Amino acid sequence: MHMDELLRLLKDGNTRTIEQLASELHTTDADIRRQLEFLEHIGAIRKISAQESGCGHCGSCSGGACKGCMPKNAKQNMGDMWEVVSV
Amino acid sequence: MSAATIALLGQPNSGKSTLFNALTGLRQHVGNWPGKTVEKKEGSFSYQGKDYNVADLPGSYSMSANSDEEVITRDFIASGKADVVCILADSSQLERSLFMLADYAGISVPCFLILNMADVAKNQGKKINPAAIEKKLGIPVMLFSATDKNAYDQFYKTMERAIKEKAMLNVTSLEQEYKKVDGYSEICETLSDAVIPGYTPMWLTVKAMEQDQVVTAKLRNTLPNGIQKTVEMFVKQSQGAIATGGCKFAWIDGILDGAVSESKTKAKLGKLDRIYTHKIWGKAAVILTVVLGLIASFIPALPIMVMGMGVDSVNGLIRTSLTDAGLSAFLTGLLCDVLIQGLSFVIKMLGFVFGVTLVFGLLEEVGVMARISYVFDNTMGKLGLQGKSVMPFLVSFGCTMGGAAGARVIDNWGQKVLTIALAWAVPCGAAWAIIPMLSTVFFGAGAPLIIVAILFVMILHMWITAKIFSRGLVKYEDKCGMIMELPPYHKPKWGSLMRYVFGRTKDTFFRVVKVVLLVSIVFWLLSYSTSGTENSILYKVGVTIEPFTKVFGLPWQLFIAFIASSFGKEGAVGVIGALFTGGGSIYQITTSSAVTENINQILLANVSRPEALAFIFAITFNLPCIVALAATYQEIHSVKWTVRIAAYYTFTALLLSCIAYHVGLLIW
């Protein structure tokens, strides 16, 4: 039951890469990816978007329309991040 | 004999639409499912004189009731409208794409399995034995490429076989997995095939354990009260979807075992990632990367700085020409000391905006910034924050207001306040334009050392601030881990990178030029007096407060620039421009040297290096700007905490200024 172990690992507050999780759980990257997909689907984890940093004032925050917005085309190669919603 | 109906079932990107289009061609129509906004695609085709109807079911991850698409899909199948279900899976990633088949298992409708994208799997070096999979599943299975026209004859034959044999999926081994889960057998025993037509007790039990809302409601309406309570009790005690999901994956692994041969690559990290993700060396590598990045930013900044100096040098010629032409001293001063001098500052600042954006944009493009974010993510936990707090910090390097707004992704209020409080310690884009410029003026080749010192103080500042503010704001149990998928390293797309860099530089120019010129005009006017500079308002105020400002190592002019930086870092440059330029009155009485038109020489003649160091630290770690203050309040909705953070940063900026001044005295 890797998913139990995976969620237990995430309780310690550390950040891990998919490769590290695969290594710690003695499995493959593909196995971790499918588990993440499943956990995301059932709402146990959620993806965090680096592009969600709009200012909330200009009405088109994601477009870099104002000073407070994430700049246009910024943070596009930052990889994917997930966080635990409930364990 | 009526036409048989085939339902196409698969996860998004499984190639369902390609297959549907190839089968039906122009014989298709698109509408909406009744009462839903989900697209309904139906069509027909003929094969060897027989007609077939095709329903392209909405792409969904599973058969659970998590979305309209999933409910429509399973209701259509269970209604018996389809004679056979064609389940598509992506051959290149069977481990995950067979999940749909595992979730389908237990629905009493004949089916067959199409392992689509066989060409992609072959290119990946995977060898798939469909006969071995077929033997385990008990339904027709074929390797297929929906884009290969020659593969369709085999598809039709497989489809006809499934219809003729009424092929039902063998779920024995899957049920064995489910039986290992607490509560499964007990719930399953209470259900029968007749509870909800189309679904087996196994499927219903699993969905009940997963707390599928539609199935739970139907069971509640169908089952007698006593049995219903028993089911609910076991559901509550079970591990739910995590347990049943694990069973499905275990079943998939069993199906693929011996049927797919591929070299299972154990987690392997590249050379660079082995360094960046190293527990000890990772942080050092990241700090070194950032420091080198900042130092490297000086290279592209240099040509633009030279342009700024060029504007400085023509300023003298323009002043002489205007004076010779008989223009009044007031207008000459306004034009040369405010407009041209301000423009010179802005151009020099832009050099660093361009350099920093280019270097760090490049690091992001090639995938290094994601590694930096990863390393800092782990540090966040030690500061009492969630890993995702790193994003507001990265955004704060561009703009603190953006960083404060970026903290919106943090749900916990205490962590949000702490994140914003720490984001203030990150020098914003304007600071990264001013610091290198002033450092270059005062410290020449030693400027990169100042940048490095600023970076280290920033880290120390964040650590101390976290220790001070985290008490009462965050609890240990609020912390949770994160998972990151680091993007692969790749070559930069220079075109898009340069468009981004020039765009940012242009935006900064227009923003900064307005602030600098406005502040310059105001302070120049306040320092101007026709009856002697000693009578100007600013001079009188300045000399009065200087005994106090000297405590922090700041002459009164720089202290006023520090105050102006609270409204916006660019404001400090405007004040310096107004108070230290040659034609202005303050300069003439604060120095006995001859008038020189070069602002760099003027600053060097009037401000000592310890004072300059104190000033650089003061404005860098002062509160970022008024807009950031407003954004902070807007995010945390607490006047008390907003004021507390602002007061803390004003105090620490002056404290750092005092320390930097005394360190400077020891050095110079």
Which are the contacts of B560, defined by CB distance < 8 A and separation ≥ 6?
B523, B538, B542, B575, B579
**CATH node for A2-84:** 1.10.10
**Do you know the residue count of chain B?**
668
Residue A51 has what pLDDT?
Answer: 52
- Interface contact flag, B485 A7, Cβ < 8 Å: no
Within B69-186, strands assigned E span 84-90, 111-116, 127-128, 141-143
The model's pLDDT over B566-576, given as tens digits with 9 standing for 90+, comes to 888 877 887 88
pLDDT digits over B66-105, tens only? 888 888 888 888 888 899 999 999 999 999 999 999 999 9
Contact list, A80 vs chain B (CB under 8 Å): 484-485
* Closest CA–CA distance from residue A80 to any residue of chain B (Å): 5
pLDDT confidence of residue B615? 95
Dihedral sign computed on CA atoms, order B56, B62, B66, B72: positive
- Measured between CA atoms, the residue of chain A closest to residue B103 is A38
pLDDT of residue B591: 40
State the pLDDT at residue B587.
44
What DSSP character marks residue B452?
Answer: H
- Count of A-B CB contacts under 8 Å: 207
Spatial distance between the Cα atoms of B615 and B607, rounded to a whole number of angstroms: 10
- Of the ranges B52-56, B121-125, B388-392, which one carries the lowest mean pLDDT score? B388-392
Q: Which residues of B touch A25 (CB under 8 A)?
A: none
Q: What is the pLDDT of residues B39-76, one digit of tens each?
A: 788 999 999 989 999 999 988 899 888 888 888 888 88
Half-sphere exposure of B660 (CA within 13 A, CB side): 27
Question: Does A75 have pLDDT greater than 60?
Answer: no
* Chain A contact set for B386 (CB, 8 A): 83
pLDDT grade for A49, boundaries at 50, 70 and 90: low
Band of pLDDT at residue B562, cut at 50, 70 and 90: very high
Of B192, B200, B194, give the one whose Cα is nearest residue B168.
Answer: B200
Tell me the C-alpha distance between B108 and B103, whole Å. 12
What is the C-alpha to C-alpha distance for residues B100 and B102, in angstroms, rounded to an integer? 5
Q: With cut-offs at 50, 70 and 90, classify the pLDDT of residue B349.
A: confident
Q: Please state, in angstroms and rounded to a whole number, the distance separating the CA atoms of residues B382 and B459.
A: 13
Q: Over the stretch B615-639, which tens digit does the pLDDT of each residue have? A: 999 999 999 988 888 889 988 889 9
What residues does each domain of chain A span?
2-84
Contact A35/B249, CB-based, under 8 Å? Answer: yes
Q: What is the pLDDT of residues B426-463, one digit of tens each?
A: 998 888 888 888 898 899 888 889 988 999 999 999 99
- Cα–Cα distance, B201 to B484 (Å, whole number): 39
Q: How far is B486 from chain A (nearest CA, A)?
A: 5
Q: How far apart are CA A53 and CA A75, in angstroms?
A: 10
Contacts of B380 in chain A (CB under 8 A): 15
Query: What's the pLDDT score for residue B594?
Result: 41
Q: What is the DSSP letter of B46?
A: E
Which residues on chain A are in Cβ contact (under 8 Å) with B277? 17, 20
Closest-CA distance of chain A to residue B398, Å: 9
Paired with A80 in beta bridges are B485
Give per-residue pLDDT as tens, B176-224.
999 999 889 988 888 876 678 888 999 999 999 999 888 888 888 888 8
User: What is the separation of C-alpha B102 from the centre of its chain, rounded to a whole number of angstroms?
Assistant: 34
Q: Cβ–Cβ of B374/A38 closer than 8 Å?
A: no
Does B271 contact chain A (CB < 8 Å)?
no
Q: What is the pLDDT of residues B506-531, one digit of tens each?
A: 887 887 788 888 888 888 888 777 76
Beta carbons within 8 Å of B176's beta carbon, 6+ residues apart: none
pLDDT band at B382 (very low <50, low <70, confident <90, very high): confident
Residue numbers in B near A1 (CB within 8 A): 242-243, 246
pLDDT band per the 50, 70, 90 thresholds, residue B323: confident
Q: Which residues fall within 8 angstroms of residue B196, CB to CB, at 6 or more apart? A: B78, B204, B215, B218, B219, B222
Max CA separation in chain B (angstroms): 109
Going along chain B from its start, the domains and CATH numbers come out as 4-169 (3.40.50.300)
At B142 the pLDDT is 95
Determine the average pLDDT of the residues in B389-400: 79
> What type of residue sits at position A72?
K
Instruction: Judge whether B483 is closer than 8 Å to chain A, CB to CB.
Output: yes
Contact yes or no for A68 and B631 at CB 8 A: yes
